[in-house]
Amino acid sequence: MREEKAVQKQEEQLVVFQLGSETYGVDIAIVREIIRMQSITPVPRTPDFVEGVINLRGRVIPVIDLHKRFELPCGDETNDTRIIVVEVGEITVGMIVDSVSEVLRIASESIDPPPPVISSGVNTAYLRGVGKLEDRLIILLDLQKILHEEEHKELEESLKQVVATEEE
Amino acid sequence: MTSGFDISQYLNIFLDEADEQIQILDEAIVNLENDKKNSDLLNDIFRAAHTLKGSSASMGFEKMASVTHDLENVLDKLRQGEVEVTPEIIDLLLECLDIIKVLKEEIASEGKEGKTETEQLISKLKVVLDGTTVAKNEITVSFDAAGDEHIQLDDVEKGLVSEAYRKGYFVWHIRVTLDSDCMMKGPRAYIVFNNLESIGEIIKTVPSAEDIEAEKFENQFHLVLVSQEDKSNVESIIDSVSEIESIVIKPVSLEEDKLEETKEPEQKEDVEDKEATEEVSDDNNVRRLKTEKIKTSQTVRVDVQRLENLMNLVGELVIDRIRLADVGENLKNHLGTEGTLETLEEVSIHIGRITGELQEEIMKARMFPVEQVFNRFPRMVRDLARRAGKEINFQVVGRETELDRTVIEEIGDPLIHLLRNAIDHGIESPEKRRKLGKPAEGLVKLSASHQENQIVITVEDDGAGMDPEKIKAKAIEKGLINRENARRLTPKEAINLIFKPGFSTAKEISDVSGRGVGMDIVRNHIEKINGVIDIHSEVGKGTKFTIKLPLTLAINRSLLVKLEESVFAFPLSNVVEIINVEKDEIKHIHRQEVVMVRGEVLPLFTLEELLDIKRETPKRESFPVVVVKISEKPVGIIVDQLLGEQEIVIKSLGDYLGQVPGLAGATIMGDGKVALILDIRGLVQHARTEEYARIAN
């Protein structure tokens, strides 16, 4: 047991994807699948970054655009555009990314805590750290935070606003 | 590890069984109160208590075992007629039941019995037990329904029996039970008699032969047969008759008769009783076990999530089937007709039909009889009536009506509220009713039935009814409406005021109802499950609430409309009509667009403004308007295009988005795309606030 843990600690497996000019990674354990871009049904009265919902084999799943989420310039949809479906706790969400490049292992010791500022402008509160692999930098997202805390607040805020305007 | 698993396995079985028996007790005890002489009910209660005793004892739940043990003993005295069934006894029985329920809950939540106090109850039971003098050891012996079904032979018959034995014949005591749904009991019994008479002589029947022929028996009869045939032959001869549920055959023993000759008549009977009872009951138990076994193999408990998953999988099949058909079509265009392509087409049509059937079957699997909710009401009504000092005849009709599980879960609370209202406010006190020339006992009737594609549940009483004028006065007093508007209301509209938040007609707050949170919550609940509630009330005659519900929450008949590229679904239960409006028909009241429909003003809104979708509303000469209504005045919603009606499967938008105002969920359409289902209630509320704002400005 202890040995296993040690191995896990030493290495992490990541799904690596491209968002604008930066390379990001998420823990492979929460990735359910990676699908091609498909037609998305927009849902009114939701935050801007919620693109809408898709049909994932009979389940209706919300899709968010990570560009909008992180206030990055929006890239055009290409043949490489993918939706990464992640499952965090009870929540299943699709995330639109520019491309998915690979799955790789990275040694835990080469993951640094997030620096105070990152050039791309992603709020460092959403980051778990920065992985260094040879000459590349991989930004590790903390989806727990992105989906649960912050975004939930934002969603609730926007819903409250709608309700408030209704009550007026 | 394994033993822990095993215990929890048994625990679940125990709890399921306990639930079942508690349900039986609940119902039977309340019925017993109205029908104190009914020995069948007593037997039901006794059996349920006995089963509970047995299973709790074997699980080591001592408190429950001791309560049920004493309860069983008391019940036995009731059965023997040694103690009379009085309201006090009924209360005591109900008290036992309540304690059993509490104990069960403790076991369910903690896996063991908690600190619940049972001593007091047991001592109460002991008082009843000690009030009579029969020895205890005889009590637990007979526990079967057959206890009162032994056969008593008179002297002539006894003579026949002993003579038969002397001649080396068999004498059989036969109990035949016909199928409960047997339509022709008389003829069936006649055939049994006829068959038996070909192999021997029937010397006695219970009930009498005449009564059996006249069908004056439940579905069971006894007979005593003198024959040379052995047991298995007799059995096979009876068994050849159809619609027979069970046969019990026992020898009538000669020793018993001898005993009887030497003892006092009274005691004789007692012995015979017990012997016969024991014999029959043993056999009967075996039979019952058998049928129970069959039953359990016929039904399976399935996690609803499984059904949901199955449903999703079928949904995928439907979509793939459409794609398959498309591919076939394309190939045909490229290659022309070819044998294999035709086969492909056939296959895809067949798959389509099967998936359709599959979907329907899974849907049906989610349906439950409404009984599940209704069964807990008789007890509740009884308690409420006793507390309120009213006499209530509670009738339940249509328990077997099937509803989707999700609807069943939601309907309980509103019904409780309506029943409470009926008892508390509807039915008058017995004295008052007598003065009014009504029967002292008030009628409260709960019924459920299928009507077309809906379930209709009604709660009615023959009580005081509602006075529209009183309701108006009350609403004015509460500031819910002004005098001017109140005057203009029709009686029906006035009665509907009780659905306004903050309205309560009870002059004093009772422990039952009338906390001012009543009817608006009932209506909210019902509308939440796409239902509609309607009141019909006549002063002095009573009130009837009619609730119409969709068969299921999972599938909904909807009107599909298009707004640009998006498809939206209007649940059909909320759609009044569809009209086409010409541009120059539109009038304005301040900033509010309206149109006159049959002399009524209909406010108009575009779907995009109600959903806050930003776009340029196209300029058109005429457009379709969906008229929707939620228990008040209708509202017209302008859409781009009507697509038609369709059955849709309702899915949630997921935990991440949660409840989006104006939307009730989403559905997946035939082409695999997602359409959004509108929450008409939310939209209409939104529209109304908009409307007020516009007109006010």
Per the omega criterion (within 30 degrees of 0), is the bond before A114 cis? no
B412 or B211, higher pLDDT: B412
Quote the pLDDT of residue B167.
74
Domain A8-167 has CATH 2.40.50.180: yes
Active site residues of B: 50, 72, 421
- For residue B181, pLDDT over 60 is answered with yes
Q: Give the tokens for residue B70.
A: 């004493």
Q: Which CATH number applies to B304-365?
A: 1.10.287
pLDDT tens profile B41-62? 888 888 888 888 878 877 778 8
Q: Treating both helix axes as pointing N-terminal to C-terminal, what angle do B62-80 and B87-110 enclose, rounded to 10 degrees?
A: 160
Domains B146-297 and B555-696 share a fold: no
User: pLDDT tens digits, residue range B354-385?
Assistant: 887 887 788 778 788 888 888 888 888 888 88
Number of Cβ within a 10 Å radius of residue B372: 15
> Hey, is the C-beta of B316 within 8 angstroms of any chain A C-beta?
yes
Does residue B457 or residue B273 have the better pLDDT?
A: B457
- Alpha-carbon distance B385 to B620, whole Å? 62
Please state, for a pLDDT cut of 70, what percent of chain B lies above it: 85
* Mean pLDDT lowest among B111-115, B254-258, B480-484: B254-258
- What string of DSSP letters covers B40-55? HHHHHHHHHHHHHHHH
pLDDT (tens digit, 9 = 90+) per residue, B671-697? 778 999 998 888 888 888 888 888 776
Q: Do A55 and B675 touch (CB under 8 A)?
A: no
**Domains of chain B, residue spans:** 2-140, 146-297, 304-365, 369-466+505-550, 555-696
Nearest partner of B106 among B6, B18, B21, judged by Cα = B18
B613 in contact with A, Cβ within 8 Å: yes
Q: How far apart are CA B626 and CA B558, in angstroms?
A: 12
Q: Where in chain A are the domains?
A: 8-167
Per-residue pLDDT for B187 more than 60?
yes
DSSP string, A12-60: EEEEEEEETTEEEEEEGGGEEEEEE----B--TTS-TTEEEEEEETTEE
B157-171 pLDDT, tens per residue? 777 777 777 777 788
pLDDT of B496 strictly over 70: yes
Quick check: B663 and A45 CB within 8 A?
yes
Tell me the CATH number of domain B146-297, given options 3.30.70.1110, 3.60.40.10, 3.30.110.30, 3.90.660.10. 3.30.70.1110
What backbone phi and psi angles, to 5 degrees, belong to B201?
Answer: -125, 130
Asked whether the beta carbons of residue B662 and residue A44 sit closer than 8 angstroms, the reply is yes
CA distance B689 to B178: 65
Percent of the residues in chain A that have a pLDDT greater than 70, as a whole number: 78
- Per CATH, which fold does B555-696 belong to? OB fold (Dihydrolipoamide Acetyltransferase, E2P) (2.40.50)
Question: Which class for B107: exposed (0-12), middle (13-18), buried (19 or more C-beta within 10 A)?
Answer: buried
Distance from CA of A159 to the nearest CA of B (A): 7
Asked if B390 and B427 touch (Cβ cutoff 8 Å), the reply is yes
Mean pLDDT on B205-228: 79
pLDDT in tens, A12-41: 899 999 988 889 999 999 999 999 998 899
CA A154 to centroid of chain Cα atoms: 16
B133 falls in which pLDDT band (50, 70, 90)?
very low
Query: CA of B260: how far to CAs of B222, B224, B313, in Å?
Result: 21, 18, 71
Which tokens in the block code for residue A58? Answer: 């009979």
Asked if B674 lies within 8 A of A53 by C-beta distance, the reply is yes
Question: Does residue B625 carry a pLDDT above 90?
Answer: yes
B9's tokens? 């396995």
Say whether pLDDT at B267 is over 50: no
For chain A, the distance separating the N- and C-terminal CA atoms, rounded to the nearest angstrom, is 60
Q: Are B469 and B563 in contact (CB under 8 A)?
A: no
Taking alpha carbons only, the member of A40, A34, A43 closest to residue A15 is: A34
Per-residue pLDDT at B560: 93
B666 in reach of chain A (CB within 8 A):
yes
SS (H, E, C) B136-175: HHHCCCCCCHHHHCCCCCCHHHHHHHHHHHHCCCEEEEEE
What pLDDT does B256 receive? 43
Measure B691 CA to nearest chain A CA, in Å: 11
Please give the helix or strand (H or E) that residue A138 lies within, else none: strand A136-141
* Nearest-CA distance B453 → chain A (Å): 25
Contact A41 B674 (CB under 8 A): yes
Q: Per mean pLDDT, which range of A126-135, B248-257, B264-273, B557-566 is the poorest? A: B264-273
For residue B406, give the amino acid letter.
Answer: T
d(CA B21, CA B313): 37
What share of chain B in percent tops pLDDT 90?
Answer: 11
The helix (H) or strand (E) run that includes residue B463 is none
DSSP code at position B184: -
- Select the more confidently predicted residue: A163 or B438: B438
pLDDT digit string (tens) for A86-140?
998 888 999 999 999 889 898 888 888 877 665 555 667 778 888 888 888 888 8
Q: Report the distance separating Cα B293 and Cα B245, nearest Å.
A: 14
Does the pLDDT of residue B152 top 90, yes or no? no
Q: Are A96 and A66 in contact (CB under 8 A)?
A: yes
> For residue A116, how far is the Cα from the chain centroid?
20
> Which residues 645-664 in chain B show a CB within 8 A of chain A?
651-663
DSSP label of A114: P
Calculate mean pLDDT across residues B309-335.
78
Q: d(Cα B373, Cα B568) in Å, to the nearest integer?
A: 34
Class of B2-140 in CATH: mainly alpha
Looking only at the bridges linking them, the beta strands covering B555-563 and B566-571 are antiparallel
- Comparing A149 with B657, the larger pLDDT belongs to B657
pLDDT for B257 equals 40
The CATH number of domain B369-466+505-550 is 3.90.550.10: no
| Tens-place pLDDT, residues B520-535 | 888 888 887 878 888 8
CB pairs under 8 A between A and B: 94
Q: What pLDDT digit, counting tens, does each position of B34-43 carry? A: 888 788 888 8
Spatial CB neighbours of A90, under 8 Å, sequence gap ≥ 6: B655
Residue type, B312: N
The per-residue pLDDT of chain B, averaged, comes to: 78
- With a cut of 90, say whether residue B545 has pLDDT above it: yes
